[in-house]
Amino acid sequence: MTFNNDKAIYIQIAERLSDEILADQYHEDERIPSVREYAVLLEVNTNTAVKAYELLAAEGVIYNKRGLGYFVSPGAKEQIQKTRKREFMKERLPEMARQMSLLGISLNEVSDELASLLNR
């Protein structure tokens, strides 16, 4: 995984695991890779992966069964979607609207382009 400098690595790891849940790679009450397995997979320090798992556990996305590992919480996918939609509407959409205005891009142009991207 290639990390960027905009966010802490553990947050990027948590986002990746959330993406995997959204993509149905892991389902409710299904075990996810152990902290060590995920750290090796992503080539990061185990402590960094621990922080990512702790963040997701604090958010209720995953839970720990002592001695068995971490599992996807019931309703995790919907929770992630709800959180990300809220973030998109509050953070990304206003900036996108500002850029559209500055560049003279119409809503129809965006709609057409979006339709072509979604139909690929």
* Amino acid 53: pLDDT: 98
**Are 34 and 70 a contacting pair, CB within 8 Å?**
yes
* Amino acid 29: pLDDT: 96
Output the pTM of the full model.
0.84
CA distance 49 to 36: 8
Of the candidates 34, 38, 30, the one whose C-alpha atom is nearest the C-alpha of residue 10 is 38
Domain 9-75 has CATH 1.10.10.10: yes
Which residue's entry shows tokens 């149905």? 24
pLDDT tens string, the chain, 120 residues long: the values are 788 888 999 999 999 999 999 999 999 999 999 999 999 999 999 999 999 999 999 999 999 999 999 999 999 999 999 999 999 999 999 999 999 999 999 999 999 999 999 988
* Amino acid 5: pLDDT: 87
What are the residues whose beta carbons fall under 8 Å from the beta carbon of 34, sequence distance 6 or more? 69, 70
Q: Is 69 helix (H, G, I), strand (E, B) or coil?
A: strand
* Amino acid 87: pLDDT: 94
* Amino acid 120: pLDDT: 80
* Amino acid 113: pLDDT: 94
